[in-house]
């Protein structure tokens, strides 16, 4: 049976799959209490992360700087020790990319730090801010959530295409384009920004529990904001960004600071 014929025949079933998925795949992010939709298993998500990380290690030069590597390993060990990720395979790699002030974490606990962010981290607490943020992405399963959202949007697109089968080609093209833009601007980008803010929140908790002063998270993001201004970045409207503007991130961290300082004080008394 051809794929389109199959979809048309079973369209009523496909139409209720998203609802079924919502009913059986709800999860809660532990530190924030936010509900999320996950349509992929932790094992599948983790395997995707492990596979992709191996590809990156083969394609991007790895830094041989002993100080940078020692710093990342030291901080990574402390942060991952307080991060509750089941079956995590923590690995922290410094990639030699001096013009890229960035970092990332793939599902399963694979963390990459680009050397371009080192002048902005400036100290061990700054590195704890970065690694705490990236580890938070993995623990909160943001990767799996993005995959799930993409699957639901794809399914919606298939259902929309089937519903428009009697429309003209021009009409179908316009509606499909509008659906694609709406899905990106109205769903994927806002969720990406919310994931970044959530990772900031959880990451600051992790660094505090690991014994790093969370006040340094605010200072790191102020340095990062100054770097962005120096580079002439920041002209894109927030609704078209994958990340929130720096001022929003700093304001949230300052608001959360009194609560997170309690975690920090507990870590010092242990």
| Cα–Cα distance measured from residue 168 to residue 171, given in angstroms and rounded to the nearest whole number | 5
Burial of 34 (0-12, 13-18, 19+ CB in 10 A): middle
Residue 225 belongs to domain spanning: 3-269
| Cα–Cα distance measured from residue 12 to residue 20, given in angstroms and rounded to the nearest whole number | 13
pLDDT digits (tens, 9 = 90+) for 81-96: 999 988 899 999 999 9
Q: Per-residue pLDDT for 2 more than 50? A: no
Element (H, E) at 96: none
Task: Report the range of poorest mean pLDDT among 34-43, 67-76, 101-110, 147-156.
Answer: 147-156
pLDDT grade, residue 149 (50/70/90)?
Answer: confident
Q: Per-residue pLDDT for 182 more than 70? A: no
Kindly name the residue from 31, 43, 125, 134 that is annotated as catalytic: 134
Q: Taking a C-beta distance cutoff of 8 angstroms, is the pair 109, 88 a contact?
A: yes
Query: Kind of pairing, strands 91-95 and 110-114?
Result: parallel
Q: Per-residue pLDDT for 4 more than 90? A: no
pLDDT digits (tens, 9 = 90+) for 94-128: 999 999 999 999 999 999 999 999 999 999 999 99
pLDDT digits (tens, 9 = 90+) for 227-257: 988 887 765 555 445 667 889 999 999 999 9
pLDDT grade, residue 150 (50/70/90)?
Answer: confident
Name, of 12-21, 38-47, 52-61, the range with top average pLDDT: 52-61
Beta strands in the chain (DSSP E): 26-28, 35-37, 91-95, 103-106, 110-114
End-to-end, the C-alpha distance of the chain in Å comes to 64
Query: Kind of pairing, strands 110-114 and 26-28?
Result: unpaired
pLDDT grade, residue 8 (50/70/90)?
Answer: very low
Tokens of 149: 């959202």
Side-chain-facing half-sphere of 62: CA atoms under 13 Å: 14
Is 238 labeled as catalytic in the residue annotation? no
Distance from chain centroid for Cα 57:
20
Task: Provide the domain count of the chain.
Answer: 1
Task: Report the range of poorest mean pLDDT among 83-87, 204-208, 220-224.
Answer: 83-87
Predicted confidence at residue 155, as pLDDT, reads: 72
Please identify which residue in the block is written with the tokens 């694979």.
Answer: 110
């Amino acid at each position: 049976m051809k794929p389109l014929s199959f979809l048309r025949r079973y369209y009523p079933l496909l139409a209720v799959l998203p609802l079924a998925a919502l009913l059986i795949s709800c999860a809660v992010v532990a530190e924030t209490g936010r509900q999320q939709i996950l349509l992929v298993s932790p094992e599948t998500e983790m395997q995707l992360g492990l596979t992709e990380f191996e590809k990156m290690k083969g394609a991007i030069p790895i830094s041989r700087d002993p100080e940078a590597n020692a710093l990342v390993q030291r901080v990574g060990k402390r942060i991952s020790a307080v991060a509750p990720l089941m079956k995590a395979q923590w690995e922290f790699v410094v990639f030699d990319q001096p013009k890229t002030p960035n970092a990332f974490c793939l599902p399963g606990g694979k963390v990459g730090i680009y050397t371009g962010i080192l002048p902005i981290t400036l100290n061990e607490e700054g590195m704890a801010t970065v690694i705490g943020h990236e580890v938070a992405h993995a623990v909160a399963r943001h990767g799996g959530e993005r995959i799930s959202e993409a699957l639901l949007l794809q399914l919606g697109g298939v259902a929309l295409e089937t519903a428009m089968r009697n429309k003209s080609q021009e009409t179908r093209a316009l509606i499909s384009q509008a659906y694609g833009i709406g899905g990106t601007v109205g769903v994927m980008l806002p969720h990406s920004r919310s994931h970044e803010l959530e990772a900031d929140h959880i990451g600051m908790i992790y660094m505090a529990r690991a014994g790093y002063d969370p006040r340094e998270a605010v200072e790191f993001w102020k340095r990062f904001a100054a770097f962005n201004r120096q580079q002439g970045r920041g002209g894109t409207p927030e609704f078209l960004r994958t990340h929130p503007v720096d001022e929003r991130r700093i304001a949230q961290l300052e608001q959360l600071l009194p609560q997170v300082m309690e975690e920090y004080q507990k870590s010092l008394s242990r």
